[in-house]
Structure 1
Amino acid sequence: MIDAVRYLVDNGIKWRATPSDFPPWPRVYAFFGRWRDTGLVAELHDLLREVVREAEGRGA
């Protein structure tokens, strides 16, 4: 599911245009909605940003 959401965000495509390699788009969207509503998307974003900044020698 994470790969499917990342693919959608990276390529800027519509949910209904999700490739057939991934689960059906309504299922992916439902997972994303739950993650967004519980704050998991923001938490993952913040953690990834910290990792990237530290890898570049900057403060988290």
Structure 2
Amino acid sequence: MTIKRYELTDEQWEQIKPLIKTNKMGRPPKDHRIMLNAILWIGRSGAGWEDLPERYGSWKSVYSRFCKWRDDGTFEEIFNLLGEESDLENLSIDSTIVKAHQHSAGAKKGL
């Protein structure tokens, strides 16, 4: 599989794959990796659901899967797993990284 911008590597996918549940009944779902990559594309690009590239399939299907995984706790499990391995020793957020809007500093409004 060719890795495109914003998509999981094979190593990352192998780490997450066991946490994604598959229903035993009904029609087989679209590939979980494609769905997760589509959700990551939305999150990382900041685009709206309707702007999802066609290679991921219907944005409605991706949105439905996002809602399912959000509601059943799949995302929480993934974040907890990945959070266990994070190195927070050098984590730093300050005003050089997070920029406030000019109006929060008292600038004139309406310009």
Q: Per-residue deviation at 1:13?
A: 1.0
Q: Per-residue deviation at 1:38?
A: 0.4
Aligned partners of 2:57 and 2:82: how far apart in 1?
25
Match of 1:13 in 2: 47
2:61 equivalent to 1:38: no
Spell out structure 1 runs of 4+ moving beyond 3 A: none
Structure (1 or 2) with the greater helix fraction: 1
Structure 1 residues without counterparts, runs of 5 or longer: none
Q: Per-residue deviation at 1:53?
A: 3.0
Percent identity over paired residues = 33
User: Which of 20, 27, 39 is the aligned partner of 2:61?
Assistant: 27
When normalised by structure 1's length, the TM-score is 0.79
When normalised by structure 2's length, the TM-score is 0.46
Structure 2 residues without counterparts, runs of 5 or longer: 1-34, 90-111
Root-mean-square deviation over aligned CA pairs: 1.6
